[in-house]
Structure 1
Amino acid sequence: MLILIAAFYVVVSVAAYITYAVDKKAAIRKRRRVSEKSLHLLSLAGGWPGAWLAQQHLRHKTQKTPFRLVYWLTVALNLAILWGVVSLFDSFSR
């Protein structure tokens, strides 16, 4: 089960990184942007490691304090959900 969870996080993180890159390129070119809601939903779904890497490597969404606060909230919520899921499966496997 842990391998499946890790694989899921990798896939969603890659998707988040790519989405941040697309948004960064759109911002530079003054084109239609990816909504912040979509970026936060990706983080909440487990893509927060990829989102964090994108923020650092692409220097994207690092200055907007309200965005960063919601981002860290999605990280905390995701980790709480992950803990609950792992605990639930652990209790069934005993």
Structure 2
Amino acid sequence: MMKNMVIYLLAVNFITFLLYGDDKSRARRHAWRIPEKVLMGAAVIGGSIGALLGMSIFHHKTRKPKFYIGIPLIMLIEFGLAAWVWYTGGHF
């Protein structure tokens, strides 16, 4: 179970990072853009680290409060959930 979760998180963060890079490239070429809800959604499903890295490395979406506040907030929530699952075994 834990191995599957690690694989999932690595994959979703890698894909999210690529999405941010691709969207930045599209912005420079004035091409069709990846919707913001897709970029945020990728962070919400576990890709917040990839989103934050993508924002930082590609200098993308760094001026939008929705992103520079939202992505770190999503990451804190995800880390909190991960800590809860780790320490409680996911039991209520």
TM-score normalised according to structure 2 size: 0.80
Q: Distance between the aligned counterparts of 2:89 and 2:66, measured in 1?
A: 35
Q: Distance between the aligned counterparts of 2:36 and 2:77, measured in 1?
A: 17
Amino acid corresponding to residue 21 of structure 1 in structure 2? G
Moved over 6 A (4+): none
Deviations 1:6-27 (A, max 9, x none): 2211100111011111111111
Amino acid corresponding to residue 19 of structure 1 in structure 2? L
> Is contact 2:52-2:71 (8 Å) kept?
no
**Counterparts in 2 of 1:31-46, with a 5 A limit?**
31-46=31-46
Matched, 1:54 2:42: no
| Deviates most, 71-80 or 24-33 | 71-80
**Counterparts in 2 of 1:19-30, with a 5 A limit?**
19-30=19-30
Structure 2: 5+ residue stretches without partners: none
RMSD over aligned Cα atoms: 2.0
3-state SS of paired residue (2:48): helix
In the alignment of these two chains, the number of paired residues is 91
Deviations 1:23-81 (A, max 9, x none): 11111111221111111111111111111211121111122223211112221222233
Structure 1: 5+ residue stretches without partners: none
Residue matched to 1:73: 73
3-state SS of paired residue (2:89): helix
> Is contact 2:26-2:33 (8 Å) kept?
yes
**Counterparts in 2 of 1:4-23, with a 5 A limit?**
4-23=4-23
TM-score normalised according to structure 1 size: 0.79
Name the % identity. 25
